[in-house]
Amino acid sequence: MNTYARLPVTFVKGKGVWLWDDQDKRYLDALAGIAVCGLGHCHPKFVKAISEQAGMLIHTSNLYHIDKQEKLANKLAVLSGMNKAFFCNSGAEANETAIKLARLYGHNKGIDLPTIIVMEQSFHGRTMATLTATGCRKVQAGFEPLLAGFARVPFNDLEAITQVAVHNKNVVAILVEPYQGEGGINVPQVDYLKDLRQICDENDWLLMLDEVQCGIGRSGKWFAFQHSGIVPDVMTLAKGLGSGVPIGACLAGNMAEEVFKPGNHASTFGGNPLACTAAITTLDIIEEENLMSNAMEQGDFIRKTFQTQLGNMEGVMQIRGQGLMIGIELSKPCGNLVKDALKQGLLINVTLDKVVRLLPPLVIKRSEAEQIVNIVSTLIKEF
């Protein structure tokens, strides 16, 4: 179907941060399959692990115990401080799980029309519930009627949430990205999540974090919420979790962990042995190779160098981000930069029309980070 406006390039091979097209031209991948390939392309240990698992057992069913799924759930619980996990295949499905969980939590409390607070400029997926939760008209237009049960407030605005708390007694949860990705790499004020945690505690609401883009080491910690010293009730993951093998997860703790009972939710493929091996190996490699501190270090370097090169330039509004989630907001639409960069052998992205977005692999080296900064700075100066 005609759902993608594809760029005129076909990649056939990858290694580390590099991709090769079918003409054998090499590209530096500063997008990592949109925050998926944190280990870079075809990491040898990862390829070996999934190859061995594929040779042993790929899929059974959630009708049976799956040892790799239990191992992954335990590992994620240790890393996050949360207690339960449900596995699916994508970010949208992980968020569907969270939305269903919040609604059931509300019904269990006697709230017949549960409402979830969501943010402007958020992105949560393309299914009917997740596009309703998404704060972008472009994503919703043409798919009405949207679902009931969502209240929208500006991102990073506690007063707006307090107002909803006063006027809407049906609220059961807040769903928020700790750092907004598709919405333009938006980083909230330092205590935002802490304050949201407090509001949720005071009102008996679930704090549900969408870490599909910012999670799995990209922010410089396993999960973005770990920069705030809080623990959410629900967290969703996907993208970087399986390094390209599709897997999503919805984790739950506190009041959220006992909400689902057998029969409430399910997935045929979710958490099969192959996908869970991919995720376990991804987490192991991130740990062994200190990729979170690398994400922090290279991300700081990239942002600082952009600041030096572009900070005072007219037309550059802001350089922002956290770890290896980097955004450069320009004063005018700049989608053409993607094609210009491609010609120079660099993969970047533009989101919200005006924000150059970089999500390089967590394995990126300083010399590669320098190349990204040099090419992007030159392109923006010439734009």
Instruction: Indicate which residues carry an active-site annotation.
Output: 123, 210, 239
Which CB, 103 or 218, lies closer to ligand PLP?
Answer: 218
Which CB, 180 or 281, lies closer to ligand PLP?
Answer: 180
Which CB, 95 or 228, lies closer to ligand PLP?
Answer: 95
Work out how close the CB of 180 gets to ligand PLP at its nearest, in angstroms, rounded to a whole number.
Answer: 8
Q: Write out the residues near ligand PLP by the rule CB under 6 A.
A: 90-92, 95, 123-125, 177, 181-182, 210, 212-213, 238
Find where tokens 């409390």 sit.
109
Tokens of 263: 């029969």
Beta-bridge partner residues of 246 = none
Beta-bridge partner residues of 27 = 19
For ligand PLP, the nearest residue by Cβ is 91
Which CB, 88 or 373, lies closer to ligand PLP?
Answer: 88
The answer to whether the CB of 342 falls within 8 A of the CB of 9 is yes
Instruction: State the Cα–Cα distance between residues 92 and 339, nearest whole angstrom.
Output: 28
Sign of the CA dihedral 162, 164, 169, 170? negative
Which CB, 122 or 305, lies closer to ligand PLP?
Answer: 122
Which CB, 124 or 221, lies closer to ligand PLP?
Answer: 124
CA 200 centroid distance within chain: 22
